[in-house]
């Protein structure tokens, strides 16, 4: 396409130069003496026009292939750059969509993790509450049992001391005032009273 343009340019430049030369010759022949001796050096203009046409032809002939190959390479490079830019843009769009999908997926995963952690925290708090409640109930039961044992022990101690005191008092009393028969009767009565207290 570019070489066609150069060839058409060369084809147009040569006739244009020739027509310019012909116009210069015609003008020189018509107006040679019209200006009162001050004339345009048409011969010189014609030489310059011929030189210009020859130069344009030589340039077109010799520069046609290098210029057309340069322009073809340039066009190929531009096409490749455009294709590379389009590929890079498509890859960037694909990466962006992948990143957006991953961000959306991560947002969902984060929400699920938050829900799971909240549920685990609630379950752990409930388990701790139940564990503490069980421990408190155990401590309370142990305290009640220990208290009952202490009360029972204290009662037994009081009964034992009371029985000992009663026995001593009865002995003393029997020794002082009673006859052996009375003493025996009183001992029996005291034993019966003590047995009633213990029961």
Q: Do 45 and 24 touch, CB atoms closer than 8 A?
A: yes
What confidence score (pLDDT) does residue 2 get? 46
Check residues 51 and 9 and name the one with the higher pLDDT: 51
Sign of the Cα pseudo-torsion (40, 46, 51, 56, in order): positive
Residue linked to tokens 């992948």:
98
Return d(Cα 79, Cα 92) in angstroms, integer: 20
Check residues 187 and 70 and name the one with the higher pLDDT: 70
pLDDT greater than 80 at residue 110: yes
Q: Do 49 and 26 touch, CB atoms closer than 8 A?
A: no
Return d(Cα 35, Cα 24) in angstroms, integer: 16
What's the whole-model pTM score? 0.33
Q: Of 32-36, 136-140, 185-189, where does mean pLDDT reach its minimum?
A: 32-36
Return d(Cα 123, Cα 187) in angstroms, integer: 69
Q: Of 2-16, 34-48, 88-102, where does mean pLDDT reach its minimum?
A: 2-16
pLDDT band at 147 (very low <50, low <70, confident <90, very high): confident
């Amino acid at each position: 396409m570019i070489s066609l343009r150069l060839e058409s340019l060369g084809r147009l430049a040569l006739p244009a130069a020739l027509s310019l030369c012909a116009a210069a010759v015609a003008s020189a022949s018509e107006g040679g003496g019209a200006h009162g001796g001050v004339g345009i050096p048409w011969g010189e203009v014609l030489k310059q026009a011929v030189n210009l046409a020859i130069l344009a032809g030589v340039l077109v002939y010799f520069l046609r292939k290098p210029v057309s190959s340069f322009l073809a390479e340039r066009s190929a490079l531009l096409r490749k750059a455009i294709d590379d830019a389009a590929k890079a843009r498509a890859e960037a769009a694909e990466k962006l969509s992948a990143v957006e999908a991953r961000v959306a997926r991560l947002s969902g995963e984060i929400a699920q993790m938050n829900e799971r952690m909240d549920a685990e925290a609630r379950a752990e708090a409930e388990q701790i509450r139940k564990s503490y409640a069980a421990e408190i109930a155990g401590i309370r039961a142990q305290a009640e049992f220990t208290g009952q044992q202490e009360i029972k022990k204290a009662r037994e101690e009081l009964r034992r001391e009371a029985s000992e005191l009663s026995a001593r008092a009865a002995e003393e009393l029997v020794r002082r005032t009673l006859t052996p028969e009375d003493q025996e009767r009183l001992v029996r009565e005291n034993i019966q009273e003590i047995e009633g207290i213990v029961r």
